[in-house]
Amino acid sequence: MTDPFATAGFLGLSGALLVIGLFGILTRRNFILLLISIEIAINAAVLNFVYFAAYAPSAPIALEGQSAAVVVIALAATEIAVGLAIVLALNRVRGSINVAESSELKL
């Protein structure tokens, strides 16, 4: 249905987005930057949906992918809103949004 090389390239792009996002989630100590990393990682999935929908063989299949993309975008916004709420509460209690400084619970 599509040129395999184009698919590989696109998957490389979304894969890179995912890896950048995951790397940020695992290494960032500032909660705001961490939220941005989460957003990047989720956008990798959105990009995939849009790409596969653009090359879908029929309209119903394309619609499924496009609506999935919209749903995931809305979900990412919700996720970030909740994250910001947690940051605000943390900042009030601790006066800091550094993730590494929260270490009362030991592994």
Partner 1 sequence: MSYTVVLEEFLPALLLLGGALLVFLADVVRVRRLEVFGGIAVAAIVGTLGSVLADLGTPYLEAFRTIPASVVDAPIAPGDLFAFTSLGLIFQGIFLLAALLVALASLSRPSHERGAAVFYGLLLLATLGMMFVAVAADLIFLLLALEITAISSYLLVGYTRRDPRPLEASMKFYIIGALSAALSFFGASLIYGAYGSTSLLVVGHTYPAGADGPLALAGFAFLLVGLGFEVTLVPFHMWAVDVYDGAPHDVSAFLAGGTKKAGLFAFFLVFLTPVVIGAGAQLSGSLELLLAILAVATMTVGNVAALMQDQMKRLLAYSSISQAGYMLLGVAIGTAPAIEGATFQIFAHVVLKAGAFLVVGAVAAMGVGPFVRDYRGLGHRRPVLSVAFALMLLGLAGIPLTIGFFSKFVLFSAAVEAGGLFVWLAVAGVLNSALSVFYYARILRVMYMEPAEGTDPATGTDGPLLPLGGLGYGRASAIALCAVVIVLFGIDPAPLLTAFQSGASHFLALGV
Q: Which is nearer to partner 1, 5 or 93 (CB)?
A: 93
> By CB under 8 A, is residue 77 in contact with partner 1?
no
SS3 letters across the chain: CCCHHHHHHHHHHHHHHHHHHHHHHHHCCEHHHHHHHHHHHHHHHHHHHHHHHHCCCCHHHHHHHHHHHHHHHHHHHHHHHHHHHHHHHHHHHHCCCEHHHCCCCCC
Query: Out of 16, 63, 77, 89, which residue is the one contacting partner 1 (CB under 8 A)?
Result: 89
Q: Does 61 bind partner 1 (CB under 8 A)?
A: yes
CB 9, min distance to partner 1, A? 14
